[in-house]
């Protein structure tokens, strides 16, 4: 599939790398298809880019890199939507917010995004009976987690939205 994005220009992504959302991301109900974009400069962060709206891209990260004990609770209906045969084939990501003051980088641990890598189905969960919130400030909670100079450099290059 070939499409154009605001941040990355024209992309050509093989169909087997497209992620179809079994349920849309909250607030983006009209968007169904995404792809992940890796950038060496942004590691360990990734981009979750919409193939339908060139303006929509989210920074995501595996939450266990910062919160090794992070656990999600899913019910059978949520699992059924992703058609999971092997739980080891499911990757978990959380959406990252980097405000103007990059030291206030936060992750939404309450609304993880699951991707079944066997069939590329994705879904955002909302864990309502959880101790996790929508804003966990990484540098406050895990001070050595991120090289802040890397985050600042990415902002200067307009890789990270303000």
- CATH number for the domain whose boundaries are 2-149: 2.30.290.10
Spatial neighbors of 31 by CB under 8 A, at least 6 apart, are 21, 24, 25, 50, 52, 53, 56
- The model's pLDDT over 9-68, given as tens digits with 9 standing for 90+, comes to 899 998 999 999 998 899 999 999 999 999 888 899 999 999 999 999 999 999 999 999
- The model's pLDDT over 80-118, given as tens digits with 9 standing for 90+, comes to 899 988 888 999 999 999 888 878 899 999 999 999 999
Q: How many residues does the chain have?
A: 162
Q: Where are the domains of the chain?
A: 2-149
Instruction: Confirm if 124 and 23 have CB atoms less than 8 A apart.
Output: yes
* Predicted structure pTM score: 0.83
d(CA 92, CA 115): 7
């Amino acid at each position: 599939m070939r499409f154009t994005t605001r941040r990355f220009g024209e992309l050509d992504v093989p169909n087997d790398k497209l992620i179809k959302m079994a349920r849309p991301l909250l607030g983006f109900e009209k968007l169904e298809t995404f792809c992940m974009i890796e950038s060496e400069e942004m590691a360990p962060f990734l981009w979750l880019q919409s193939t339908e709206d060139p303006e929509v891209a989210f920074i995501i990260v595996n939450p266990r890199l910062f919160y090794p004990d992070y656990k999600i609770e899913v019910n059978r209906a949520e699992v059924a939507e992703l058609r999971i045969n092997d739980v080891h084939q499911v990757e978990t990501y959380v959406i990252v917010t980097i405000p103007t003051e990059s030291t206030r980088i936060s992750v939404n641990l309450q609304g993880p995004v699951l991707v079944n890598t066997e069939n590329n189905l994705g879904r955002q969960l909302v864990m309502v009976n959880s101790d996790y919130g929508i804003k966990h400030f990484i540098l406050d909670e895990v001070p050595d987690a991120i090289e802040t100079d890397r985050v600042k450099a990415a902002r200067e290059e307009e890789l990270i939205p303000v």
